[in-house]
Chains A and B, each alone.
Chain A
Amino acid sequence: MKQILVFILFAAMLVWFMFSPVYKHVLIVRQAFLQKEVDYLLEIGMNGEHGYIDGGMIRESKERMAQHGFVSADLVYSVSTTSGVSGTDRNQPVVRGNGVILKITYPYHRLFVIDRLIGINVPEETDRMGAVGMKMSEYVP
């Protein structure tokens, strides 16, 4: 009897230790993907040929993110500029000297279910993680 109890305890602990940190890893990787996507969109959007981040680029970005397991409908992109133009209109590009701030947010979803079960205070499922970046445009009309 004691043997069986010890076995169950060992097995349960082993499974717990194998799987519980994976969730943290998913969180880190998602955050990293969001940050890389912000960096990429700013790099492309603010180069000398573009000066904008329009709907088409955001749609392509959502497709890329969906390939990495993101639910594309839950991704929210917000673009703002220091010059006052929208930054999402290809006919009104942001000219050199002005910056664009891009922010992508994504909900945590059910990443913290296990932590909530054991009573750790964690963000809600609808709370959002996000990545943000600001880069100066190189576009010269």
Chain B
Amino acid sequence: MYKLLLLLLMSVIYMMMYALQTDEEVALHTLFQGKHALNRAVHAAAQQSDSMKLAAGIHAIDEGKAQEAALRYLQTNLKLNGVNDPLPGSFLRSRVDVILFKIVNDQEVFPYQYTNAEQEFTVTLERPGVIMLIRLEYPRTYSVLQPITWTIRSSAEMVF
């Protein structure tokens, strides 16, 4: 009889271990996907040059277009709607918060160092660029894993 009990106990433990392992693995892929989406968003934002200033020989970022491009690329890559809520078919289940969207434009002195002590994030830009931080919550499948929320940080410079 005790063997049957042992069997039950073993299967419960195995199931929990597998659930934990699967969730951890998927979590890591989700983090990568979030990071890549953010990388593409800041990259797209940083390429929005201001054509008026470019005509005068100054490389600068068009701030309105940059913000629009960043959100569009983030939303397409993570399958979000206009207010960053997940669309049906998206893997995520909660809203993605944009914590910071900062454009370092041509008025600054380069190299420009941006430090965010709260997020322990430092970046040095040699050219005008965009810095963006988002908060992403992982939709865990099994409750074995503790809730995970990442703050993903990224920046990009203009390419010219």
Contacts and interface: CB of A to CB of B under 8 A. Distances in A.
Interface of A: 6, 9-10, 13, 17, 21, 24-25, 28, 31-32, 35, 39, 42, 48, 96-97, 99, 101, 132-136, 138
Interface in B22-55: 22, 25-26, 29, 32-33, 36, 40, 43-44, 47-48
A21 B22 contact: yes
Contact of B47 (A6, A24, A133, A138): A138
A99 B44 contact: yes
A32 B7 contact: no
A34 B24 CA distance: 19
Contact of B26 (A9, A28, A132): A28
A48 B7 contact: no
Given A17-B11, A136-B43, A136-B44, A28 B22 contact: yes
B18 interface: yes
Interface residues of B, number: 26
B80 to A, nearest CB: 12
A32 B18 CA distance: 18
A17 B36 contact: no
B36 A10 contact: no
B43 A24 contact: no
Question: Looking at A24, A32, A136, which has the most chain B CB atoms within 10 Å of its CB?
Answer: A136
Given A28-B26, A133-B36, A99 B11 contact: no
A133 B22 contact: no
Given A9-B7, A17-B14, A28 B40 contact: no
The A contact surface, by secondary structure, is helix
Contacts of A28: 22, 25-26, 29
B76 interface: yes
B47 A96 contact: yes
Nearest to A48: B159
Contacts of A133: 36, 40, 77
B138 interface: no
B79 to A, nearest CB: 8
Contacts of A9: 7
B152 interface: no
A110 to B, nearest CB: 20
8 contacts: A10-B7, A31-B29, A97-B48, A99-B76, A134-B40, A135-B40, A136-B69, A136-B73
B47 A136 contact: yes
Interface string B1-32: 00110010011001000100110011001001
